[in-house]
Amino acid sequence: MKNIFREYHLIENNNYVYMFQKNGLKYFTFTKQEFEINVESISELLNDNLTERKKEYNINEVKENIEMVHLTINLSSSCNLRCKYCYIDKSDSNFELQFEDIKLFIEKSTRYFHDAKHFQVDVTGSGEPLLRFELIKDIQEYLKSISNEKTTYSLSFCTNGTMLSNEIIDYLESENIYYGVSMDGYRKVHDENRVYFDNKGTYSDILKNLKKINNQYIGAALTVTNKNLNLVKNLKTLEKNFDVTSMKLVRETDVDKGALTTMNLEQFKNAYTDLYNFLLKETLSMRTKYLIMLLSGEDLFGRFLKRVFINQSALTRCNAGISKFALENDKKVYICGAAGKNKEFQVGSLDVPITDQNVEYYMNHQVNDSYCDDCYAKNICGGICMVYKKQLEQKNMIKNRSMCELKKHIIQLVLSFRHYIYTVSPNLYQSIIGLCLDKHNI
């Protein structure tokens, strides 16, 4: 019999054995004990589940699977704050998109993806979107006017939270517009980073505004640096005011801004292990609110957890250039908002925002990125962010794999989490799958 184990990467860690298919899409977790005792049935399971990773996709295959399209619009590159880790070029704020440009972008994108069911229009941009609140209202009216049974549109954005007046809060609530607020967890760290022009911290003002919100479902966007690595404390603090939390790491290239490095990698790993232990304890005690907060957003831990619970494999890191596009204030279209106005990531203009050639290219480019060739975790991770990879190359840091090491650590944690819950409480396991499917469809 063929040695089926050769078809898999086998990773052992603590009490677990993780199996990741090398050329396919499957992954499994076993305890070491199960692995030793049930080797026959495990090899049958592995054999029966062999799949093939497709290497080449044509435009029809790509398009027929697109139900949701993300359009990002850089509404404002001006900002009323001067956050320490912000990388946006503030000299850029003289150019602003007009309502007609935005309408044209949405209209042409709709025509291109005529079978898509939903368009998520995100007006976050590179500055503070609420500086153009009147325009947000116009866009919302426009989206409502073009929504129909076949295609729906929704508006969302992320704000720094300092401009949330009663009028704005009431409007957003009455229109059911989803928004996130940037908060760096607890006060001390937040006030060191997220400051006004005069260096004054913004925590108190934001908190005052959050207290005015009644029933609106809102999210927190938190930037993790080596200064706020107590992720459990972050989560507990944010739980008081938010329904959703997305904890994202500051870019690894921003070493001076508290980024993850080879030197502090263990510290970051320990922070996620602590989060894992906390979540496991809470969830097993049937307190799932923290888990739900992470599953609902774009959190790194939450994203991987969702994927493993619903047994989903990721072909790509993201949908940038495939079903996600950004209109910049130069009226050109790029693969996503984070691409800024980097010509390398430009895919179109207002005349022709999206083309078959580009969509097909970005799908195949992401699926076949050689950066991830030998990585056992790619079925769950999906791969490297294209924009981030470019920054690593530009700073001669491409060999730095700290982020990958951290991601692999988190992936092992979420796999253990799933296996542990499955073993201890099959009912709880099923209800978490339900939660993940629910949040997956948001």
Q: What length does the chain have? A: 442
Nearer Cβ to ligand SF4 (291/333):
333
Residue 53 or 137 having the CB closest to ligand SF4: 53
Which parts of this chain interact with ligand SF4 (CB under 6 A)? 317-318, 320, 324, 336, 338, 371-372, 375, 377-378, 381, 383-388, 404, 407-408
Please name the amino acid found at residue 396: N
Shortest distance, CB of residue 345 to ligand SF4, whole angstroms? 8
* Nearest to ligand SF4 of 206, 385 (CB atom): 385
Minimum CB–partner distance for residue 112 and ligand SF4 (Å): 18
Beta-carbon count within 10 A of 408 CB: 20
Closest contact distance (angstroms) between CB of 215 and ligand SF4 is: 30
Q: Please work out, in degrees rounded to the nearest 5, the angle formed at the alpha carbon of residue 155 by the alpha carbons of 154 and 156.
A: 125
Please say which residue, 130 or 403, places its beta carbon nearer to ligand SF4: 403
Beta carbon nearer to ligand SF4, 85 or 186: 85
Q: Are 375 and 404 in contact (CB under 8 A)?
A: yes
225 or 402: whose CB is closer to ligand SF4? Answer: 402
Beta strands 244-249 and 218-224 are parallel
The kind and range of the H/E element at 23 are none
Q: Rg (Cα) of the chain, in Å, rounded?
A: 22
d(CA 62, CA 68): 12
Helix axes 426-440, 402-424, angle to 10 degrees: 130
Residue 342 Cβ, how far from ligand SF4 at the closest point, in Å?
A: 11
State in angstroms the smallest separation of the CB of 340 from ligand SF4: 10
DSSP 267-330: HHHHHHHHHHHHHHHHHHTT--HHHHHHHTTT-HHHHHHHHHHTTPPPSSS--BTTTEEEE-TT
CB of 27 to ligand SF4, least distance (A): 12
